[in-house]
């Protein structure tokens, strides 16, 4: 076994690998760019080596710098994580020349699966189901139209060296093929330096399901079941789960057998993933093979109990797999959501900045529920414009899919992030979506269910009552605290009437609230004789960003941010503002005209500017309330590094 390994990556995956290495007693070396000098993975590793400027092309993607870092630190092996150099054939070759072990597949397997055209040919030779299509060289648009006519519409035009949705077009007609062919070639050339494209039949209403494989250097290969990755935007995965709600045991067996056959055919000897496009009729077709650890690997780990990073390290060290196919059992259900610094209401544009507050839900494994957080950030750190804007991966595991989704929803409600826009409310709303809960998925799910983009959820009656009750409870606790302040004027004890009017968004909810021991009892007004009553318990205290407690013995978490005379609340994808009044205060408030903020006043979280960089729009938001003194830039300006955009009073 290795004594010291280097992680040629950053962020959450570097931290994830370090955790397993620690458990195995292996020392770790981190590498970092100038932008990552204070990153979490640098702090966690036993040793860290700087490798250059912030752009990945000058640091994390420079093979010679990684090899040099290994030599300087005595690292015997390198784990590439995912992305960056993880699927570059030249990387393990360069490591081998330096006498360093690559914790991943052999270069020939990477090469065989790295080219989408050649990988499909290899899959066909291994008798793996493939999508009907043309894998030869396509000379021009006219040739592309002829091929599409023969295959039958709709068709998918895809870059051979592509990935991440680049160089990909769906065409439903001859005209769309001609246009899509030209655009796909251009994107492929500019993104990958390779303009080759191929055409295949597009499966209508498809699902994206992948099989995790694991091989060693002694010819043994097994599979660890499937993951459903159909919830995607712009061909990027957002939510993953294991197993799939579509796949039955028979289909799993067939997909697993084909994945193992392909892995054996190319001499695969590490953890890898064979991806399939699957019809709603459970017919499946080979899509591609990823010769690395996947972002979504934790869901497989939780349903199998197998640490994939550990297995990769052991295989790289020459050990035989101790697991046989018959040893692999899927237990329970796991769901993973990707928490990103992005604005779901603005077509998921990246939203960079400093993490003013970062309070993830507590990791735990009790009562049949597991909550796991894989992250590479910390409170006070920064989400950089140079890299993927992932904040964390939130994974939950339970006995059933329904319970795993419920645990995920609860964990998202308790996940507090401030400093910039993020997608937590979107993910929380998604967990409540009836179609998602029913498992009726496809890769078009998000575009079909949110055609106009995502907007904050309007609370239903039950959720509105929950938020009103929590707002009243918070107000009551604040009132109790004020009445305990020392040095107040002597005399009769200060009392406050029980009746409240809670303004929740555009609605007003009448209730009364009383203290009964450690609990608060909330009674709502109703048209009939019965008055809905709820009992709330919580250890919440002023300043806590999350109200966690129970309502009628049911665990509830609501994110709380104080605003002038009220609170901003977030729960189950609902984001709303609440004001709690006595009856007299409410009567006066109804007479007050709505106050409009001055033009130059900004509130924490509001958009200040949108800066375009690398063909992406980056939203800059206010870290705190303030007043704009001067605006130094105008729309269309080109900005130098460190240029001042605006000044505050």
Of 568, 591, 614, at which residue does a domain stop?
Answer: 591
Using DSSP bridges, classify how beta strands 533-538 and 519-524 pair: parallel, antiparallel or unpaired. antiparallel
| Residue among 390, 389, 386 nearest 374 (CA) | 390
| Judgement on whether residues 296 and 187 belong to the same structural domain of the protein | no
Q: How many domains does the chain have?
A: 6
Of 174, 201, 228, at which residue does a domain stop?
Answer: 201
Average pLDDT over residues 393-400: 98
Model confidence pLDDT, tens digit, residues 497-534: 789 999 998 899 999 999 999 999 999 986 656 678 99
| Judgement on whether residues 86 and 10 belong to the same structural domain of the protein | yes
What confidence category does residue 546 fall into, taking pLDDT thresholds of 50, 70 and 90?
A: very high
Question: Model's pTM, two decimal places?
Answer: 0.85
Q: DSSP letters along 319-348, please? A: PPP---GGG----SEEEEEEEESEEGGGTT
| Residue among 307, 251, 347, 310 nearest 103 (CA) | 310
DSSP secondary-structure letter at 58? Answer: G
- Give a yes or no: residue 127 inside a domain: no
User: At 99, which helix (H) or strand (E)?
Assistant: none
Query: Can you tell me the distance from the alpha carbon of 188 to that of 159, in angstroms, rounded to the nearest whole number?
Result: 6
| Residue among 331, 441, 462, 452 nearest 397 (CA) | 331
- Give a yes or no: residue 271 inside a domain: yes
Q: What are the tokens at 218?
A: 């002694």
Average pLDDT over residues 607-620: 74
| 67 close to 73: Cβ distance less than 8 angstroms | no
| Judgement on whether residues 310 and 337 belong to the same structural domain of the protein | no
Residue 78 pairs in a beta bridge with: 6, 102
Tell me the residue ranges of DSSP E strands in 217-363. Answer: 221-233, 236-242, 271-278, 284-290, 333-340, 342-343, 349-350, 353-354, 357-359
| Judgement on whether residues 465 and 587 belong to the same structural domain of the protein | yes
| Judgement on whether residues 407 and 417 belong to the same structural domain of the protein | yes
- Give a yes or no: residue 442 inside a domain: no
**Average pLDDT across the chain, whole number:** 92
What confidence category does residue 247 fall into, taking pLDDT thresholds of 50, 70 and 90?
A: very high
Least trusted range by pLDDT, from 109-123, 464-478, 566-580: 109-123
| Residue among 462, 535, 524 nearest 499 (CA) | 524
What pLDDT is recorded for position 210? 98
Most confident of 152-156, 200-204, 490-494, 544-548: 544-548
Burial of 335 (0-12, 13-18, 19+ CB in 10 A): buried
- Give a yes or no: residue 75 inside a domain: yes
What pLDDT is recorded for position 548? 96
Model confidence pLDDT, tens digit, residues 283-313: 999 999 999 999 999 999 999 999 999 999 9
Active site residue: 210, 228, 241, 288, which one?
Answer: 288
- With vertex at residue 261, the alpha carbon angle to CA 17 and CA 255, rounded to the nearest 5 degrees, is 80
What pLDDT is recorded for position 617? 66
Q: 270 Cβ partners below 8 Å, 6+ apart?
A: 103, 104, 105, 214, 215, 291, 312, 315, 316
| Judgement on whether residues 178 and 295 belong to the same structural domain of the protein | no
> In terms of residue numbers, what domain contains 254?
205-331
- Give a yes or no: residue 376 inside a domain: yes
Q: Is 288 a catalytic residue?
A: yes
Model confidence pLDDT, tens digit, residues 352-370: 889 999 999 999 999 999 9
| Judgement on whether residues 57 and 13 belong to the same structural domain of the protein | yes
| Judgement on whether residues 223 and 243 belong to the same structural domain of the protein | yes
Average pLDDT over residues 485-496: 72
- Give a yes or no: residue 125 inside a domain: no
Of 544, 559, 591, at which residue does a domain stop?
Answer: 591
Long-range contacts of 32-35 (CB under 8 A, 24+ apart): 32/59, 33/58, 33/59, 33/60, 33/386, 34/59, 35/384, 35/386, 35/387
Domain of residue 383, CATH code: 3.30.470.20
Report the percent of the chain where pLDDT is more than 70. 96
């Amino acid at each position: 076994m290795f004594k010291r390994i280097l992680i040629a990556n950053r962020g959450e995956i570097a931290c994830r690998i370090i955790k397993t290495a620690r458990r195995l007693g292996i020392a770790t070396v981190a590498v970092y760019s100038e932008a990552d000098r204070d990153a979490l993975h640098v702090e966690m590793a036993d040793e860290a080596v700087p490798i250059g400027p912030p752009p990945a092309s000058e640091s994390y993607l420079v093979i010679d710098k990684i090899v040099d870092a290994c030599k300087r630190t005595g690292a015997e092996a390198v784990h590439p994580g995912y992305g960056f150099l993880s699927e570059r054939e030249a990387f393990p070759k360069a490591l081998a020349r330096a006498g360093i072990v690559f914790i991943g597949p052999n270069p020939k397997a990477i090469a065989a699966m790295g080219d989408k055209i050649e990988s499909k040919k290899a899959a066909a030779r291994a008798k793996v189901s493939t999508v009907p299509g043309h894998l030869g060289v396509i000379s021009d648009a006219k040739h592309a139209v002829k091929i599409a006519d023969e295959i039958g519409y709709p068709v998918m035009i895809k870059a051979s060296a592509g990935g991440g949705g680049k160089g990909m077009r769906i065409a439903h007609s001859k005209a769309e093929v001609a246009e899509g062919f030209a655009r796909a070639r251009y994107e492929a050339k500019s993104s990958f330096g390779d303009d080759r494209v191929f055409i295949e039949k597009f499966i209508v209403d498809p699902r994206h399901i992948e099989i995790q494989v694991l091989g060693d250097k002694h010819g043994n290969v097994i599979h660890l079941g499937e993951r459903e990755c159909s919830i995607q935007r712009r061909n990027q995965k957002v939510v993953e789960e294991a197993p799939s709600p579509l796949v039955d045991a028979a289909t799993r067996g067939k997909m697993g057998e084909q994945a193992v056959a392909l892995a054996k055919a190319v001499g695969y000897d590490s953890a890898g993933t064979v991806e399939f496009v699957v019809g709603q009729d459970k017919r499946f077709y080979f899509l591609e093979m990823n010769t690395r650890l996947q972002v979504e690997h934790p869901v497989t780990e939780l349903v199998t109990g197998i640490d994939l990073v550990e297995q990769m390290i052991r295989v790289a060290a020459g050990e035989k797999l101790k697991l046989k196919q018959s040893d692999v059992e899927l237990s329970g259900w796991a769901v993973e959501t990707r928490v990103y610094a992005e604005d779901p209401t603005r077509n998921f544009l990246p939203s960079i900045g400093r993490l003013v507050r970062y309070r993830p839900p507590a990791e735990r494994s009790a009562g049949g529920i597991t909550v796991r957080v894989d992250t590479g950030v910390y409170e006070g750190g920064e989400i950089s414009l140079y890299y993927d804007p992932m904040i964390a991966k939130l994974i939950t595991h339970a006995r059933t899919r329904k319970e795993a989704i419920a645990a995920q929803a609860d964990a998202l409600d308790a996940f507090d992030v401030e400093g910039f826009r993020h997608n937590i409310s979107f993910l929380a709303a998604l967990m409540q979506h009836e179609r998602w809960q029913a498992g009726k998925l496809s890769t078009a799910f998000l575009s079909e269910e949110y055609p106009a983009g995502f907007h904050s959820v309007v609370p239903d009656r039950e959720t509105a009552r929950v938020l009103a009750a929590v707002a009243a409870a918070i107000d009551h606790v604040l009132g109790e605290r004020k009445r305990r302040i020392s040095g107040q004027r002597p005399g009769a004890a200060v009392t406050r009437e029980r009746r409240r009017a809670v303004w929740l968004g555009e609605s007003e909810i009448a209730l009364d609230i009383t203290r009964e021991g450690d609990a608060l009892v909330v009674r709502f007004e109703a048209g009939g004789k019965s008055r809905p009553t709820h009992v709330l318990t919580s250890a919440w205290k002023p300043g806590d960003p999350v109200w966690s407690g129970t309502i009628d013995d049911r665990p509830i978490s609501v994110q709380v941010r104080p605003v002038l005379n009220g609170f901003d609340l977030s729960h189950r994808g609902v984001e709303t503002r609440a004001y709690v009044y006595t009856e007299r205060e409410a009567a006066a408030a109804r007479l007050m005209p709505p106050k409009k903020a001055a033009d130059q006043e900004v509130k924490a979280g509001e958009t200040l500017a949108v800066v375009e960089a690398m063909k992406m729009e980056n939203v800059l938001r206010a870290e705190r309330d303030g007043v704009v003194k001067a605006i130094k830039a105008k729309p269309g300006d080109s900005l130098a590094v460190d240029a001042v955009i605006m000044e505050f009073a």
